[in-house]
Amino acid sequence: MSAEEAEDRALMEQFLRNPAHDYRNLQYGDTVDGTIMRVDRDEILVDIGSKAEGVVPAREMQSLASEDRAALRPGDELLVFVVQIEDKEGRAVLSVDKARQEKSWRRLQQSFDNNEVIEAKVINYNKGGLLVNLDGVRGFVPSSQVSGISRGPETQKQSDMAKMVGTSMPLKVIEINRNRNRLILSERQAVQEVREGRKDELLTTLKEGDVRTGMVTSIADFGAFVDIGGADGLVHLSELSWSRVKHPSEVLKPGDKVRVYILSVDNDRKRIALSIKRTQNEPWSTVNERYQLGQVVEGTITQLASFGAFARIEDGVEGLIHVSEMGDGRVQHPRDVVQEGDVIKARIIRIDPARKRMGLSMRQPNEAEDSGTPPAEEEPE
């Protein structure tokens, strides 16, 4: 190589290393940050570091809201997608819509990989579920993956979905396929994920003896579940009321707001035991302040036994009407006189707060002894 050739080569290398000529080698599908040079009515001129400016035609910026487009100014940065390397004027054809989609797809893939909960607005619905928009990417939430959609008649399902249009909801990506333009999400899994996080946090703050306000979420034969701020605790049947309760539905229904006492917290099994009755005064502790011997009270028959009938005087206070105190003459069985649910009037003939017992009589005053001594036959211990 001659000295002249070496000098020409050095000058060429210096020219190519000059930042002013360091052009990007753009390809279709590239997503780049550009700088707005001019905003026209039908296009935006963008510097993308190429030998010529790129242009965003109106058809490629439809995802921009009118107010967002009006706010664009020369010098602003703008993310664009290369649709065409060069048009007839030598400019790259760019797209804001596809750039936003590409960025959103990447973010969604990251959310899927990291098992994250995201938020999206419902834009429409069809027979199978809800349609959501995530920065230019349309996603589908099957109706089976939405907790607020009825499992009843189709008309009810459609009504439920119509009400959700325009609302935002937490979602988890459960299937993503960029090549097939397929994005499936679940609201149920997102809600469960959020609740689990709240539950773990709540379990660390709860203490036995705390009193919280919650909402009844469901009823079971053995008790009621109450949401106390992100976690459900169980109020066992025996802890619902000081009075006798055969089924939780007698005193509660889903949606009721209640005050609950924290009985225990099991962090390992993530279980919370609650009590409603312990937020109220134990009625037998003050029974002598409200009742006295000889007083006539109204009660509701709650249970029949061979030796008599139990009558609820107030929540948590029941009295026994012994079979011998049910009226004139000999009564073979309490069912011959009363039935469960009957409302009766009876006179108090015995009060024993320590043993939580009260004796009642349906006999006329002149036929019953007022000494307060127990009748010949007692209920079993």
- The pLDDT of residue 371 is above 70: no
User: Rounded mean pLDDT of the chain?
Assistant: 85
Phi first, then psi: give them for residue 93, nearest 5 degrees.
-95, 125
- The pLDDT of residue 162 is above 60: yes
Question: Distance between the two ends of the chain, CA-based, in angstroms?
Answer: 117
pLDDT of residue 192: 85
- The pLDDT of residue 243 is above 70: yes
Q: Is pLDDT larger for residue 86 or for residue 17? A: 86
User: How much is the pTM?
Assistant: 0.50
- In 40-105, where do the E strands start and end? 43-47, 54-57, 77-84, 92-95
Strands 357-361 and 317-322: parallel
- The pLDDT of residue 187 is above 70: yes
Q: Which of 306, 322, 323 is nearest to 357 (CA)?
A: 322
Question: 140-149, 252-261, 281-290: which has the minimum mean pLDDT?
Answer: 281-290
pLDDT of residue 245: 84
CATH superfamily of 291-367: Nucleic acid-binding proteins (2.40.50.140)
Of the chain, the percentage scoring pLDDT greater than 90 comes to 50
pLDDT of residue 10: 53
Q: Which of 294, 239, 290 is nearest to 264 (CA)?
A: 239
Phi first, then psi: give them for residue 285, nearest 5 degrees.
-70, -20
C-alpha to C-alpha distance for 265 and 268, rounded to whole angstroms:
9
Fold of 21-99: OB fold (Dihydrolipoamide Acetyltransferase, E2P) (2.40.50)
**Class of the 206-279 domain?**
mainly beta
Fold of 115-191: OB fold (Dihydrolipoamide Acetyltransferase, E2P) (2.40.50)
- The pLDDT of residue 102 is above 50: yes
- The pLDDT of residue 155 is above 70: yes
